[in-house]
């Protein structure tokens, strides 16, 4: 820009005759010093300007580098924080999983113990029930073996005091073990087969384990004989004594 302005000035001063006259004008001009000063001054200014520009570019580069480093440090810090948070979350997840596993194992152990206790209780109850049943069976067997071969009580009640007017009779026998009372009756003395059948049924039902069918038949025969002979004289509503029954049985 400076040389162009100087050339235009020289051409203008020489009335644009030619380049030679313009160059001569420039060489012979009294303002050579000024021109040289003007020429040297822009060079100095341009060097300073270049230095300043270099410094500016260096400062900008340094600022940019500093900014990049700051951003990188910030990014690394964020990544470190995220990594630490992720590690903590994973650690918490592992701890929670371990705690859940322990809780599940404790629950299974408690259920197993409860189930074992229930099974032990059921087994204990079964053993106690079996012991109770065995004791009852032994007790019943002992009472059956210790019973008397005779009937404890035999009651015969006539319908009327007169032997000839007797049309029906009732025989009552109680089991030696104290069970329910068996009542047998006949409408007439001739129907001895029905009476035998009923007494045999009582024998089969277990009135006493020591009474045999022969003894029952003999006892029935004695009852019928005494009824026909009129020897079974008891008051209405009263029962025969054990001695009377035993004497009738021994006849």
Q: Which residue has the tokens 């009327």?
A: 160
Question: How does DSSP classify residue 1?
Answer: -
Q: Give this prediction's pTM.
A: 0.26
Question: How does DSSP classify residue 167?
Answer: -
Q: Which helix (H) or strand (E) holds 61?
A: helix 32-145
In angstroms, rounded to a whole number, what is the distance separating the alpha carbons of residues 147 and 207? 11
- pLDDT per residue, tens digit, the chain (251 aa), is 555 666 676 666 666 666 666 666 666 665 555 555 555 555 445 777 888 888 888 888 888 888 998 999 999 999 999 988 888 888 888 888 888 889 999 999 999 999 999 999 999 999 999 999 988 888 888 776 665 454 444 444 444 444 444 444 444 444 343 333 334 443 444 444 555 555 555 555 554 444 555 665 666 666 666 666 655 444 444 444 445 544 544 44
CA distances from 235 to 158, 214, 229 (A): 7, 30, 17
Give the rounded distance of the alpha carbon of 186 from its chain centre. 69
Half-sphere exposure of 248 (CA within 13 A, CB side): 24
């Amino acid at each position: 820009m400076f040389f162009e302005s100087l050339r235009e000035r020289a051409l203008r001063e020489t009335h644009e005759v030619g380049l030679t006259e313009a160059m001569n004008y420039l060489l012979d001009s009294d303002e050579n010093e000024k021109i040289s000063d003007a020429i040297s001054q822009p060079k100095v200014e341009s060097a300073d300007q270049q230095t300043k520009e270099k410094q500016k570019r260096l400062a900008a580069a340094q600022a940019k580098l500093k900014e990049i480093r700051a951003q990188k440090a910030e990014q690394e810090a964020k990544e470190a924080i995220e990594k630490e948070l992720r590690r903590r979350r994973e650690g918490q997840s592992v701890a929670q999983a371990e705690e859940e596993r322990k809780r599940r194992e404790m629950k299974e152990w408690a259920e197993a113990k409860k189930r074992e206790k229930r099974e032990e209780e059921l087994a204990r109850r079964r053993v106690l029930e079996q012991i109770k049943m065995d004791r009852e069976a032994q007790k019943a067997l002992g009472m059956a073996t210790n019973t008397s071969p005779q009937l404890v009580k035999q009651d015969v009640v006539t319908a009327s005091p007169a032997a000839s007017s007797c049309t029906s009779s009732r025989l009552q026998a109680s089991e030696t073990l104290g069970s329910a009372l068996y009542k047998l009756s006949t409408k007439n003395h001739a129907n001895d087969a029905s009476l035998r059948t009923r007494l045999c049924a009582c024998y089969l039902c277990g009135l006493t384990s020591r009474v045999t069918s022969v003894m029952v038949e003999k006892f029935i025969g004695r009852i019928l004989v005494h009824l026909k002979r009129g020897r079974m004289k008891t008051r209405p509503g009263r029962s025969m004594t054990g001695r009377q029954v035993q004497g009738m049985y021994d006849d």
